[in-house]
Amino acid sequence: MKQKETLLNIRLNGDKIELSDLMIDDMGDNHVSTSVDTPMRKDAFDLSDDEKVEKIEQHFTAIMETLGLDLNDDSLKGTPRRVAKMYVKEIFSGLNPANMPVMAMFENKYKYNEMLVEKNISFYSNCEHHFVPIIGKAHVAYISNGTVVGLSKLNRLVQYFAKRPQVQERLTMQIGKQLQKVLGTEDVAVLIDAKHLCVASRGVEDDTSSTITAYYGGKFKEDKTHNEFLRYLEIKSEF
């Protein structure tokens, strides 16, 4: 069935819109996001982290057993627990607002009013459609309006939003909008270049392509500032 035909495969159920399996698969393979905010349930934090680990361990045990794996094997028997802890405490820890990095602000006493660029911030995320890795680099820039933030906080903010099931467009916008909020300025830019393993290891199985997304606010929408930012990204670092 062609894509334009699957788009019609929607039915109303009371006040809800239900998507067919074909439509859901089509959205996933085309990496479509539904909102700027990560979709979260209202009861997302009713369970503690330890309670979530226990519950995920049980579910992942069932998945492995369904796949036919022998959990009595020494190599496999600890896997459900390891995966559960990894999900909650590591790779999806960015779902919890309590883990948002504290962005301490400082007065710009040295009156540096030019562009500041933090390049090549490495991050690991996971595609929300297939739960496989997204590996990339983020480039972040801002122009101070009187306050500055510690450089390491830019890295931590990128990693915070990356550590959740993601779509690259949403990740880019979340970083940009949060920086604008914290810095109190619209003059923010974010550019992300990433490889998606859901493209490389399954589906079309293209291991050579990468995806670039960008978010520009304030002065970065002007050609002069926009082009200056892109020129900085071309500079080869000796470190």
Instruction: For residue range 47-94, list pLDDT tens digits in order.
Output: 999 999 999 999 999 999 999 999 999 999 999 999 999 999 999 999
Taken in order 135, 141, 147, 151, the sign of the CA dihedral is: positive
Strands, DSSP E only, in 68-218?
105-107, 115-127, 133-143, 147-149, 165-166, 188-196, 211-216
Task: Give the C-alpha separation, 161 to 151, whole Å.
Answer: 17
Q: Kindly name the residue from 31, 130, 159, 174 that is annotated as catalytic.
A: 130
Is 128 among the residues known to form the active site? yes
Helix-strand-coil split of the chain, %, nearest 5: 40, 25, 35
Q: How high is the pLDDT of residue 11?
A: 47
Of 128, 159, 166, 178, catalytic? 128
Among the listed residues 31, 57, 127, 178, the single catalytic one is: 127
Give the residue range(s) of CATH 1.10.286.10 domains in the chain.
39-91
Q: Enumerate the CATH 3.30.1130.10 domain ranges in the chain, comma separated.
A: 101-234
The CATH architecture of the domain made up of 39-91 is Orthogonal Bundle (1.10)
The answer to whether 238 is a known catalytic residue is no
pLDDT range class, residue 29, cuts 50, 70, 90: low
- The whole model's pTM is what? 0.84
Please tell me the class of the 101-234 domain: alpha beta
Catalytic residue among 31, 57, 166, 198: 198
Q: Is 127 a catalytic residue?
A: yes
Instruction: State how far Cα 181 lies from the chain centre.
Output: 18
In the set 57, 139, 159, 168, the catalytic residue is 168
In the predicted model, what is the mean pLDDT of the chain? Answer: 87
Cα separation, 56 vs 51, in Å, equals 9
Residue 226 bears catalytic tag: no
Give the pair of three-digit tokens for residue 152. Answer: 């390491």
